[in-house]
Amino acid sequence: MSRFYYAVKVEENKAWFDDHEYRHFQVMRVEEGQRIVFTDGNGALYAGIVSFARDRTTARITEKISQIERSPSQRVAVGIAHAQWDREEVLIEKGTELGVTDFYLFPSRYSKYRDINLNKVSYTLRKAIKQSENPLLPTFEKFGRLEEALALVERYPQRILLQPSSPTDLFDTRRQSGPALLFVGPEGGFHPDEVQLCIRAGFTPCSIGKRILRLETAALCGFVWATLLSSVD
Amino acid sequence: MSRFYYAVKVEENKAWFDDHEYRHFQVMRVEEGQRIVFTDGNGALYAGIVSFARDRTTARITEKISQIERSPSQRVAVGIAHAQWDREEVLIEKGTELGVTDFYLFPSRYSKYRDINLNKVSYTLRKAIKQSENPLLPTFEKFGRLEEALALVERYPQRILLQPSSPTDLFDTRRQSGPALLFVGPEGGFHPDEVQLCIRAGFTPCSIGKRILRLETAALCGFVWATLLSSVD
């Protein structure tokens, strides 16, 4: 179990926790007046004294332990075509562990699933930062169409489209420092028209080696490339 | 479902299949006299005509489609401390997908599981090569003690021990071409005495970034480093 908790709101010397977090306190047998450590998901880690008053759990902040800044130049974003939740969950969880900072979700022509439950995304992200003791909660955004998601490219100078048939190997592609955006298609890949749209938007299609990888294995390799291999600034 | 099958024995113009493969034929509704493609797991891909005689499934080989050679210099081996089967299965499956050529299994002081079922390992490897259309079946071997597994280092000039607390980052470590061996500990890591044994045997302890990764995520990062990042020979 994680060593810290997530506060939905932090103001001056007080923090608020929601029902989801209350259940975590229960599981951990946290008692009234106990010292806890928690994050605001925005890079800060606090210590405080917990209080379970009526239907509201709060903490009196006694100490700001640390503050990590979000570095815009280190953003690593992943765009994922709607897929079965089990698969999305693994990608969001592992992506967060590895350091993905932003998740974008969109439909794709070959997606068997037409939508995604944003509450599930939110709780999965929260669970993943707690698990990996990362006080920065990744952002997420849902787009109604792939074309809308393509407008994201302005923020990310490096854009990779995972495409099994591509002759370009991702791991032969030098990862520059600076913001990167990685698009992951549905099972069966993007439709050729969608690939063309992405290429016109500035994406480079890349495959991963000559092996046949399951989609989630390929996506995880992409996350490793995007999050662990950047040059030093 | 995979596009090829696995023959347990191939001799001149005939191939034999076991009960496990017979069930795969049944699932795929393969009929007597049908043309199938199969591998011997040793790099060869064949076409043949299947025959279900009594309790023995065989194929008359009509063509040798291709042959991949095992390159000793490209061996990538992984040593895994006994763990819960679910976790072992993911590591063996994903490792095979990514190109691990040899798996070594051994007990470790902090392993909660004292042994591993070699039949399960064997079927998982077989399933994984079929899934990823790889005609080279990885080898596997079980050791009774970590000390015995350490004798493996002679075959592998590059030896990495995944160790979360290590100040050396795996992805800052240049992957040389040539055989590599990666040791993955149990949940909770290796015992300090075991780490010392490994270091004396020539292993370099490496961590993966500053993040806290679940063991299987760290192991997959290690597989990516070992299988996808080697220099060109």
Which of chain B's residues have a Cβ under 8 Å away from the Cβ of A131? 212, 214
A134–B208 CB contact, under 8 Å: no
**Quick one: pLDDT at residue A233?**
39
Q: What is the 3-state secondary structure (H, E, C) of chain A?
A: CCCCEECCEEECCEEEECHHHHHHHHHCCCCCCCEEEEECCECEEEEEEEEEECCEEEEEEEEEEEECCCCHHHCEEEEEECCCHHHHHHHHHHHHHHCCCEEEEECCCCCCCCCCCHHHHHHHHHHHHHHCCCCECCEEEECCCHHHHHHHHHHCCEEEEECCCCCCEHHHCCCCCCCEEEEECCCCCCCHHHHHHHHHCCCEEEECCCCCCCHHHHHHHHHHHHHHCCCCC
Average pLDDT (A117-127) is 94
**Quick one: pLDDT at residue B111?**
87
Q: What is the DSSP letter of B73?
A: G
Average pLDDT (B2-20) is 92
Is the pLDDT at A232 greater than 70, yes or no? Answer: no
A131–B214 CB contact, under 8 Å: yes
Q: For A12-21, A192-201, A222-231, B127-136, which range has the lowest pLDDT when averaged over its residues?
A: A222-231
- With cut-offs at 50, 70 and 90, classify the pLDDT of residue B233: very low
Residues, chain B: 233
Which of chain A's residues have a Cβ under 8 Å away from the Cβ of B128? none
In Å, how far are A97, B87, B115, B130, B217 from B90, measured between CA atoms?
Answer: 17, 5, 17, 15, 10
Which of chain A's residues have a Cβ under 8 Å away from the Cβ of B97? 211-214, 217
Q: Which of residues A132 and B181 earns the better pLDDT score?
A: B181
Average pLDDT (A178-198) is 93
**Quick one: pLDDT at residue A46?**
96
- With cut-offs at 50, 70 and 90, classify the pLDDT of residue A115: confident
Q: Which two tokens stand for residue A134?
A: 């990362």
B229 CB burial (10 A radius; 0-12, 13-18, 19+): middle
CATH fourth-level superfamily of A5-67: Hypothetical PUA domain-like; domain 1 (2.40.240.20)
Is the pLDDT at B197 greater than 90, yes or no? Answer: yes
Q: Which two tokens stand for residue B56?
A: 């023995």
Cα nearest neighbour of B3 on chain A? A212
**Quick one: pLDDT at residue B93?**
95
Is the pLDDT at A209 greater than 50, yes or no? Answer: yes
Q: How far is A52 from chain B (nearest CA, A)?
A: 30
**Quick one: pLDDT at residue A174?**
87
* Percent of chain B scoring above 90 in pLDDT: 76
Class of the CATH-defined domain B72-228: alpha beta
A213–B132 CB contact, under 8 Å: yes
Average pLDDT, chain B: 92
B209–A99 CB contact, under 8 Å: yes
B131–A214 CB contact, under 8 Å: yes
A211–B99 CB contact, under 8 Å: yes
B217–A134 CB contact, under 8 Å: no
A211–B134 CB contact, under 8 Å: yes
* Percent of chain B scoring above 70 in pLDDT: 98
Q: For A2-6, A65-69, B183-187, which range has the lowest pLDDT when averaged over its residues?
A: A2-6
Is the pLDDT at A230 greater than 80, yes or no? Answer: no
A63 CB burial (10 A radius; 0-12, 13-18, 19+): exposed
**Quick one: pLDDT at residue A204?**
96
Cα nearest neighbour of A230 on chain B? B171
Q: How far is B45 from chain A (nearest CA, A)?
A: 15
In a 3-state reduction of DSSP, which class is residue B97? helix
Average pLDDT (B19-24) is 92
Which of chain B's residues have a Cβ under 8 Å away from the Cβ of A94? 217
**Quick one: pLDDT at residue B71?**
84
CB-CB: which of A97, A208, A209 is closest to B211? A97
B221–A217 CB contact, under 8 Å: no
List the single best residue of A134, A211, A227, A229 to mutate versus B (max B Cβ within 10 A).
A211
**Where do we find the tokens 């999305």?**
A88
**Quick one: pLDDT at residue B2?**
64
Asked if B5-67 and B72-228 have one fold, the answer is no
- With cut-offs at 50, 70 and 90, classify the pLDDT of residue B69: confident
Is the pLDDT at A94 greater than 90, yes or no? Answer: yes
pLDDT in tens, B83-92: 889 999 999 9
Q: Which element (helix H / strand E) includes B182?
A: strand B180-184
Q: Give me the residue spans of the domains in chain B.
A: 5-67, 72-228
Cα nearest neighbour of A225 on chain B? B224
Average pLDDT (B124-141) is 93
Which of chain A's residues have a Cβ under 8 Å away from the Cβ of B221? 98, 224, 228
- With cut-offs at 50, 70 and 90, classify the pLDDT of residue A2: low
Judge contact between A158 and A138, C-beta under 8 A: no
Q: What is the DSSP letter of B150?
A: G
Average pLDDT (B46-68) is 94
